[in-house]
Amino acid sequence: MTESRPRLLRSPVLGRLLTAVATLCGVALLVFIMLRAIPGDRITATLGTEAAALSPAQRAALEAYYGLDQPLVLQFLNWLGQLITGNLGISSRAQVSVVQLTAGALPVTLELAVIAILIALVVGIPIGMAAATRRNGILDGAGQVFALLWLSVPAFLLASVLLTYTARLWGFNPNGQPYAVPWLNPGLNLQQMLLPAITLGLGIAAPIIRTTRTAVIEIGGLDFIRTARAKGVSEARLRARHVLRNALVPVTTMTGLQFGYLLGGAVVVEQIFSLPGVGRQVLLGIQQKDYAVVQSTVLVIALCFVLVNLLTDLAYRVIDPRVRQA
């Protein structure tokens, strides 16, 4: 046990973990500074223009109540301590804790992200492979034009067009109804997820097409593929078992990296399709000047992002043994 410790300390996994923890502390500091930079404070944010009517004594009492009379460093440490014990603050509008709000919103965004990633993989990998096998053919050209197009179409534009025209042409407007919880009404829930997930999924399909194409071309030229072909392995089997399996390594990394795009894109897409996820929660918080909500939700989203990046990195080590030794 004691002997394994020095080895553990040298392990890149632990290094990654420590970096992640340090990064999260930095993230908390940045969020704290950003929201202290707003003109006004918690008192004006809660009371609005009525704050001007406060007597100096009332004001001092409120400042003491919110801890605003303490030095900034202490305020930050207090806030950090609260965060670690699971207190994310109270929403001044909804009068419920941000933990409660987030516990309701986070599953919505995660469900949306997972469906979007599935759509992106189902669309992106076959197109990427087809483009690589018929290099410079019509499909390759079409695939690259498609990829460029989807890189250039903003999510909010695609979402607005999809929402308006599906409702107009087919009367399909599930997002006009209140949000359906998946375990109570799974059918409606999936319908409500469909268009937003297509919007986000097509957005990340483009980098997946590019990565798959590059990886398949690169791996297809390696010696072991030539050896396998010489042994008489069928082309179909070669592509599925030998090429694709290896190409999945960079594709996995790319998918993990796109998760951040999904969390950012979720702000726009959730807003347009009225999905009560964390993205919409941040935007609502900003619009209603409910800064406890903004502060904590942004922090939770960054935490998810750091965790997914860490998991991607670790998954990469599991999938590709060469990285583990490096």
Partner 1 sequence: MTVLTHDPIVSATRRPLNRLLRSVPGVIGLALMMIILGLSIMNWLGLTPYDPIAQDAPARLQSPSGGHPFGTDQFGRDVFSRVAAGLANSLLIAAVAVFFATVLGTLAGLVGGYFRGVPDLATGGVANVLFAFPPLLLALTLASVLDRNWFTVAIAIAVVYVPIFYRVSRGPVLSLREREFVQAAVSTGQNPWVTMFLHVLPNITALIIVQVALSLSWAVLTEAALSFLGLGTPPPAASLGSMIFEAKNIVVVAPWTLLAPGAMVVVLVAALNLLGDGLTDALDVGGKE
Cβ proximity to partner 1, 238 vs 286, nearer residue: 286
How far apart are alpha carbons 258 and 207 in whole angstroms?
8
| Long-range pairs, 68-72, Cβ under 8 A, ≥24 | 68/41, 68/42, 68/43, 72/36
Cβ proximity to partner 1, 121 vs 189, nearer residue: 121
Cβ proximity to partner 1, 213 vs 239, nearer residue: 213
Q: Are 238 and 225 in contact (CB under 8 A)?
A: yes
Helices (H), 231-290: 235-237, 245-272, 278-287
Of 310, 264, 38, nearest to 156 by C-alpha is 264
Q: How far is the CB of 31 from partner 1 (least distance, A)?
A: 8
* Residue 302, phi then psi, degrees to nearest 5: -60, -40
Cβ proximity to partner 1, 189 vs 204, nearer residue: 204
Cβ proximity to partner 1, 188 vs 314, nearer residue: 314
Residues near partner 1, by CB under 8 A: 19, 22-24, 26-27, 29-31, 34-35, 37-38, 148-149, 151-157, 160-161, 164, 168, 210-211, 214, 250, 260-265, 267-268, 271, 279, 282-283, 286-287, 294, 298, 301-302, 305-306
Q: How far is the CB of 5 from partner 1 (least distance, A)?
A: 24
Q: How far is the CB of 34 from partner 1 (least distance, A)?
A: 5
Q: How far is the CB of 76 from partner 1 (least distance, A)?
A: 15
Q: How far is the CB of 104 from partner 1 (least distance, A)?
A: 19
End-to-end CA distance of the chain: 24
* Residue 182, phi then psi, degrees to nearest 5: -55, -40
